[in-house]
């Protein structure tokens, strides 16, 4: 038996984003999942329900029930786009900054491609619903802002809980010993200040004026200038600001103590009703020209430069690039999934994204970057583009040397990959010449299909063989659904010697199907 291998690649259309495809059971997730299921104050929480039992080709909606503090109501939730099988809505307090004029509020970034639609303004089933709660909300619990509320969401057999509940803030420093002109990074960790799950929220601290003149007390020194605490990434709830001793902090003692006065609402003074926790957190450190230490994972540790890798050497438009960044000293909390902020830039646009630790205490972070507007977490790219991934490492390998010399220790590292001109359909990659094949010997024609995209695709693979008079002497097909790859064998016994043309192509269905590929040809000679 002789074998001819026709290696063909099926570059098929994207139907479902990879991270949501092929789930067996419905799921409910929210932007509060990484924060012990809590949100508070004027924050918005995003809820995503994935249900593979709904339509995968047309507009659809699901019904949910929400119970909270004795109130209960049903809501119709549309899919984020036609056939997505994903359903999104937001929960916000009726007195929240996001509750009024939400349809014109571009600061939230829903996955729903139809945009916002507020039920209070006559929800018509298109867009991501904004469901308000509290006194006068769609879910009228009667509770004012900053009143604890527990939500239970029901869909099919699923039951999911979210707590509108205060989180007590904590304070951390990047190390516990500094040089006299070193930089210090102060971090406030507090979910109460994480208002927008899609953006890097900000806190402004001015030691000389309200509302946050009462945020810190520094024993052994003084703050000399205002600063902005910016969230380290979207939905991290960690807010960081940088100061320099001798410039923005005046040092009066070698031993200093910094006290944080925790708030539920960082836009008002401590004596506001909502800021009644009286909770504080404290961090002590020394300032002297010594070797110092860097605190990583709650103790002195070595620092590293990041190492980048990718699942491919290059990509096509419409694919999702999976970029891995290994940086052990960015593993700040051994008990949680940490995140880092990266910037992705193409020739068309530049955007910031969060890369999340693949598992707790690993120091290995993964960014899934869509190379199409239709994909989650995506940037717009052009053909033959170069995409740059930039990551500013707070703790590079030479961290201490840079810091004690008064240089900003943070370093930016970059990784690039190419976006190829997108290919369509099926193409022949390699063939085996068949000039010495004999008549009456069975020939096996192997068609290998490789799916380089993120969704399954129904297909019909066809093999046709024509003689020199252009007459079809062999025609066979096989149907299937292509996941990652498939290998199909066809058998042909030539009746006589001669020259033949093997043609292979793929269509979506036998009757009225669209072409998934151009026709690939291979000449063979039968002796």
pLDDT at 26 over 60: yes
CA distance 90 to 115: 12
Q: Which pLDDT score is estimated for 2?
A: 40
| Residues 371-408: b if buried by 16+ CB within 10 A, e if exposed | bbeebebbbebeeebebebbbebbbbeebbebbbebee
Secondary structure in 3-state letters for 212-238 = HHHCEEEECEEECCCEEEEECCCCCCE
DSSP E strands, 127-252: 128-133, 149-155, 158-164, 170-173, 177-178, 183-189, 202-205, 216-219, 221-223, 227-231, 238-244, 249-251
The answer to which of 11-20, 319-328, 379-388, 427-436 has the lowest mean pLDDT is 11-20
Residue 396, in any domain of the structure: yes
Q: Which pLDDT score is estimated for 436?
A: 43
Q: Which pLDDT score is estimated for 12?
A: 33
- CA 364, 187, 255, 243 dihedral sign is positive
Q: Which pLDDT score is estimated for 214?
A: 94
Q: Which pLDDT score is estimated for 186?
A: 94
Q: What is the mean pLDDT of residues 137-166?
A: 95
pLDDT at 469 over 60: yes
pLDDT at 201 over 70: yes
φ, ψ for residue 102, nearest 5 deg? -65, -30
Q: Which pLDDT score is estimated for 76?
A: 92
More confident of the two residues 447 and 95: 95
Averaged pLDDT of the chain = 81
Q: What angle do CA 259, 270, 151 make, to 5 degrees?
A: 100
Q: Which pLDDT score is estimated for 9?
A: 37
pLDDT band at 484 (very low <50, low <70, confident <90, very high): low
Q: Are residues 348 and 325 in the same domain?
A: yes
Q: Which pLDDT score is estimated for 282?
A: 96
Q: End of a domain among 420, 441, 472?
A: 420
CATH code where residue 503 lies: 2.60.40.10
Residue 508, in any domain of the structure: yes
pLDDT band at 66 (very low <50, low <70, confident <90, very high): very high
More confident of the two residues 24 and 139: 139
Q: Are residues 89 and 210 in the same domain?
A: no
- Give the chain's length: 527
Residue 298, in any domain of the structure: no
More confident of the two residues 18 and 310: 310
The answer to which of 74-88, 341-355, 475-489 has the lowest mean pLDDT is 475-489
pLDDT at 310 over 80: yes
CATH code where residue 248 lies: 2.60.40.1930
Of 276-285, 413-422, 445-454, the range with the highest mean pLDDT is 276-285
**Domain coverage including residue 136:** 31-164
pLDDT at 209 over 80: yes
Cα(first)–Cα(last) distance of the chain, in Å? 15
Whose structure tokens read 């070698």? 254
Q: What is the mean pLDDT of residues 189-197?
A: 94
CA distance 467 to 246: 87
Q: Which two tokens stand for residue 126?
A: 């298109």
pLDDT at 83 over 60: yes
The answer to which of 264-268, 350-354, 443-447 has the lowest mean pLDDT is 443-447
Q: Are residues 512 and 480 in the same domain?
A: yes
DSSP alpha helices (H): ranges in 36-129? Answer: none
CA distance 399 to 416: 24
pLDDT band at 438 (very low <50, low <70, confident <90, very high): low
CA distance 393 to 390: 10
pLDDT band at 111 (very low <50, low <70, confident <90, very high): low
Query: What's the number of domains the chain is made of?
Result: 4
The pTM of this model reads 0.62
Q: Which two tokens stand for residue 452?
A: 């380089």
Residue 20, in any domain of the structure: no
Q: Are residues 388 and 469 in the same domain?
A: no
φ, ψ for residue 214, nearest 5 deg? -100, 15
φ, ψ for residue 31, nearest 5 deg? -70, -10
Q: Which pLDDT score is estimated for 509?
A: 81
Whose structure tokens read 């740059």? 388
Q: What is the mean pLDDT of residues 365-379?
A: 87
Closest CA to 288 of 220, 204, 213: 220
pLDDT at 382 over 80: yes
Q: Are residues 127 and 230 in the same domain?
A: no
Q: Are residues 36 and 152 in the same domain?
A: yes
CA distance 382 to 362: 34
More confident of the two residues 220 and 302: 220
Q: What is the mean pLDDT of residues 439-453?
A: 69
Q: Are residues 414 and 439 in the same domain?
A: no
Of 143-152, 243-252, 449-458, 469-478, the range with the highest mean pLDDT is 143-152
CA distance 145 to 361: 36
Is the previous residue joined to 40 through a cis bond, with omega within 30 degrees of 0?
no
Closest CA to 112 of 79, 90, 85, 83: 79
pLDDT at 453 over 60: no
Collapsed DSSP state (helix, strand, coil) of residue 155: strand
Residue 23, in any domain of the structure: no
CA distance 426 to 450: 9
CA distance 133 to 151: 10
Residue 267, in any domain of the structure: yes
Q: Are strands 472-482 and 457-466 parallel, antiparallel or unpaired?
A: antiparallel
Q: Are residues 262 and 174 in the same domain?
A: yes
CA distance 498 to 457: 37
In this structure, are residues 289 and 310 in contact, taking their beta carbons and an 8 Å threshold?
no
φ, ψ for residue 414, nearest 5 deg? -130, 150
Q: Are residues 272 and 174 in the same domain?
A: yes
Q: Are residues 97 and 158 in the same domain?
A: yes
Residue 24, in any domain of the structure: no
The answer to which of 106-115, 123-132, 424-433 has the lowest mean pLDDT is 424-433
Q: Which pLDDT score is estimated for 114?
A: 57
pLDDT at 145 over 60: yes
pLDDT band at 11 (very low <50, low <70, confident <90, very high): very low
The answer to which of 268-277, 394-403, 420-429 has the lowest mean pLDDT is 420-429
Q: What is the mean pLDDT of residues 112-116?
A: 58
Q: Which pLDDT score is estimated for 188?
A: 96
Whose structure tokens read 């038996």? 1
- pLDDT tens string 322-352: 999 999 888 877 777 888 999 999 999 899 8
Q: End of a domain among 239, 261, 293?
A: 293
Q: End of a domain among 293, 317, 349?
A: 293
In this structure, are residues 303 and 395 in contact, taking their beta carbons and an 8 Å threshold?
yes
Query: CA–CA distance from 270 to each of 193, 230, 265, 329 (Å)?
Result: 14, 20, 9, 35
Collapsed DSSP state (helix, strand, coil) of residue 33: helix
pLDDT band at 455 (very low <50, low <70, confident <90, very high): low
Q: Are residues 9 and 117 in the same domain?
A: no
Whose structure tokens read 């703790």? 395
Q: Are residues 175 and 207 in the same domain?
A: yes
Residue 143, in any domain of the structure: yes
In this structure, are residues 184 and 244 in contact, taking their beta carbons and an 8 Å threshold?
yes
pLDDT at 284 over 80: yes
CA 246 to chain centre: 39
């Amino acid at each position: 038996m002789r074998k001819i291998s026709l290696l063909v690649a099926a570059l098929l259309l994207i139907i479902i984003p990879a991270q949501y495809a092929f789930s067996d059971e419905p799921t409910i997730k929210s932007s509060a999942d990484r924060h012990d299921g809590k949100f508070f104050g004027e924050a918005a929480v995003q809820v995503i329900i994935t249900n593979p039992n709904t339509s995968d080709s047309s507009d659809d909606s699901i019904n949910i029930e929400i119970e909270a503090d004795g109130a209960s109501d049903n809501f119709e939730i549309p899919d984020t786009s036609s056939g997505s099988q994903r359903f999104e809505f937001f929960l916000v307090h009726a007195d929240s900054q996001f509750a009024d004029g939400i349809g014109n509020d571009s600061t939230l970034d829903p996955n729903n491609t139809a945009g916002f639609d507020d039920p209070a303004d006559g929800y018509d089933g298109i867009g991501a619903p904004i469901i308000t709660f509290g006194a006068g909300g769609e879910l009228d619990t009667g509770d004012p802002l900053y009143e604890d509320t527990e939500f239970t969401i029901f869909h099919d057999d699923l039951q999911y809980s979210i707590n509108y509940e205060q989180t007590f803030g904590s304070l951390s420093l990047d190390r516990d010993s500094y040089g006299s002109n070193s930089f210090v990074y102060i971090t406030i960790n507090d979910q109460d200040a994480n208002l927008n799950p899609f953006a890097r929220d900000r806190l402004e601290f001015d030691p000389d004026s309200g509302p946050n003149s009462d945020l810190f007390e520094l024993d052994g020194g003084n703050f000399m200038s205002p600063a902005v605490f910016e969230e380290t990434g979207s939905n991290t709830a960690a807010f960081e600001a940088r100061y320099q001793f001798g410039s923005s902090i005046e040092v009066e003692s070698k031993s200093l103590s910094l006290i944080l006065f925790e708030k539920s609402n960082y836009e008002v003074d401590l004596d506001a009703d909502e800021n009644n926790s009286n909770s504080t957190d404290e961090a002590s450190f020394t300032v002297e020209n010594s070797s110092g230490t860097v605190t990583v994972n709650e103790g002195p540790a070595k620092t590293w430069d990041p190492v980048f890798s990718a699942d491919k050497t290059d990509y096509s438009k419409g694919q999702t690039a999976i970029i891995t960044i290994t940086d052990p000293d960015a593993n700040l909390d051994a008990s949680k999934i940490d995140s880092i902020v990266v910037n992705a830039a193409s020739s068309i646009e530049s955007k910031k994204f969060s890369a999340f630790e693949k598992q707790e205490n690993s120091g290995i972070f993964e960014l899934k970057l869509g190379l199409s507007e239709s994909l989650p977490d995506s940037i717009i790219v052009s053909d033959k583009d170069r995409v740059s991934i930039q990551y500013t490492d707070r703790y590079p390998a030479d961290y201490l040397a840079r810091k004690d010399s008064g240089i900003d220790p943070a370093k930016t590292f970059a990784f690039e990959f190419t976006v190829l001109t997108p290919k369509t359909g099926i193409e022949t990659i390699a063939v085996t010449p068949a000039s010495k094949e004999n008549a009456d010997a069975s020939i096996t024609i192997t068609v290998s299909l490789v799916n380089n995209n993120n969704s399954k695709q129904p297909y019909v693979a066809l093999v046709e063989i024509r003689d020199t008079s252009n007459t079809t002497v062999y025609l066979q097909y096989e149907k299937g659904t292509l996941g990652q790859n498939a290998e199909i064998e066809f058998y042909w016994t030539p009746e006589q010697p001669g020259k033949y043309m093997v043609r292979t192509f793929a269509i979506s269905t036998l009757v009225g199907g669209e072409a998934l590929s151009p026709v690939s040809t291979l000449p063979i000679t039968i002796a």
